[in-house]
Chain A
């Protein structure tokens, strides 16, 4: 059974992305172990002379390093990834680089119709940057629009088509994660490169 880290890219306890992440954890509990990590309390990222990262960030970093993959649910604020998630990704690409070569699946929920399409595109670009170098599952998108109406009282998705799509995507992600275990030839070099990367701005 694969072990994944699940990140809801929010610090809002009422977020439907948190709900979506919890649903994914429960819905696929027979197939994989998904551990949700909380990114909401990290301080605002700042570069410091000694390259120190908060203990909490180091902890998350180690969990990701040990995981077979990461599932991220992103809200969309101002047509882009919320600052709180960008912030976590900055801490998780500074000093330690747990995302290098790590399989990532992106999902997202929004109150409106679009279901975070723009934030997901933004998140892909971020995860693809050298300091993160994640292995994002290609050709897959899970956009959950009208998310306030999307769950029943038990926290399950109430739209069959959406469930079927998510099932398929998750199956693919399992395969993708397993394949990715063999796609490691460049990882050491990539890691070296990012560790030498200057973070001065």
Chain B
């Protein structure tokens, strides 16, 4: 996360500078905040070329994930120095457009620059500037002369706590806006989803045949991938590759990773007989494009699911597995969760498959309850895309008819992995 902080004062001594310096240092472990000075920016004049100081600000703001502005209050409004900067940056260049902005301010007396912030908010939201000012929190630091200790730290723990919560909200605000922006960037409709994985991405291992049975070995050699006892630093933790494998292999769900190029690049049940899996995968399939691991008839549904997740229309698609589910015995669910990087860019699908019946069963046992059919409920028991038979919640008879042998043959069919999209998932409509 890369932020820039603009100090709206060019005074010899400025409490807003102090506040910004404090913010940058207080959050330095988690956020990179670069402080920008506006001292050298000349007064805006229409038609005049922007000089190097303005160009510098333009470049820095454009590249940042978000902007924090600390404004003093002069004459019940923001400063001319800051306003001039904003005018420069809303004239021939527009780095604030769609940029998340957080306003803070300090004042000598108790008002804490509230009026200046309100004006600044209105200015930043005007069409020429088009910034996205965070709508909820206001950080007003009044009586600033007594707010900092000799080391430049805020004295009041409550104030620090509030600042931290404001900053937390701002980071969320940035993420939400990024996700929105990225989604709008997705071109084409669901039919244009390329399941042959030919749209190479930054993580695609080049020069290895995706369909090769030893794709993993080849790709690992190509990338000099680490393994065994080598440590890998994660967001919050440190594991060896072995530890990572032990951990993933024992997840109570079957996990599959398909990247944003629609390439199947990982699953966590390598040692399991595919027949024993809820959604069978085989070691040799890893590396395949999604097209190769689905039967022809399922491809349309897969495209729908992927596209729904890629565009952010939904973050999670879930559906029961057809054929193998049996009422009050087995209820296998497929979940497809969109993954995003810290910039909000879509990075693929985390798919997990799990039989939720044991959970329900143990819950009933523990709480001494039983399931009763709801006469009015309509559920989609078959979950086929084309055939939407609506039946009341399962009755004992349906349960009785499903024989073990029959269910096994159906499992073979499930090898085609993802079932066609269930209409109830909402993926195919809209």
Min C-beta distance of A11 to chain B, whole Å = 5
Q: Does A56 contact B (CB under 8 A)?
A: no
Q: Are A200 and B108 in contact (CB under 8 A)?
A: yes
Shortest CB-to-CB span from B115 to chain A, Å, is 8
Contacts of B16 in A (CB 8 A): 201
| Contact (A129, B75) CB under 8 Å given A47-B11, A78-B129 | yes
Do residues B75 and A131 form an inter-chain contact, with CB atoms below 8 A?
Answer: yes
Is A198 a contact partner of B108 (Cβ separation < 8 A)? yes
> Of residues 113 to 138 in B, which have CB atoms within 8 Å of A's CB atoms?
115, 119, 122-123, 125-126, 128-129
Total chain B interface residues with beta-carbon distance under 8 A: 42
A residues in contact with B84, CB < 8 Å: 44, 83-84, 87
- CA of A176 to CA of B129 in the docked complex: distance in angstroms? 38
A80→B43 contact, CB < 8 A = no
Assuming the contacts A78-B86, A78-B90, asked whether A44 and B42 have C-beta atoms less than 8 A apart, the reply is yes
Which residue of the partner chain, among A48, A83, A87, A201, contacts B106 with CB atoms under 8 Å? A201
Q: Does A145 contact B (CB under 8 A)?
A: no
Q: What residues on A are CB-neighbors of B45 within 8 Å?
A: 11-12, 40, 84
Interface SS majority for chain A: loop
- Contact of A45 with B by CB under 8 A: yes
Interchain CA distance A47-B16 in the complex, whole Å: 13
Q: Does B243 contact A (CB under 8 A)?
A: no
State which of A28-36, A64-72, A120-128, A158-166 sits at the interface with chain B: A120-128
Do residues B14 and A201 form an inter-chain contact, with CB atoms below 8 A? Answer: yes
Q: Is B79 an interface residue (CB 8 A)?
A: yes
- Contact residues in B for A132 (Cβ distance below 8 Å): 75
Number of A positions contacting B (CB below 8 A): 38
CB <8 Å contact, A78 and B128? yes
Contacts of A40 in B (CB 8 A): 45
Nearest CB in chain A: distance from B221 CB, A:
57
Which residue of chain A is the closest to B122 with respect to CB atoms?
A79
From B12, B77, B123, contact of A125 by CB (8 A): B77
Distance (whole angstroms) from the CB of B51 to the closest CB of chain A: 13
**Of residues A12, A44, A87, A201, which shows the largest number of chain B Cβ atoms within 10 Å of its Cβ?**
A201
Give me 6 A-to-B residue pairs in the complex whose CB atoms sit less than 8 angstroms apart, sorted by A's number: A12-B45, A46-B10, A78-B123, A78-B128, A82-B44, A125-B76
Interface residues of A (CB under 8 A from B): 11-12, 14-15, 40, 42-49, 77-84, 86-87, 89-90, 93, 118, 122, 125-126, 128-129, 131-132, 198-201
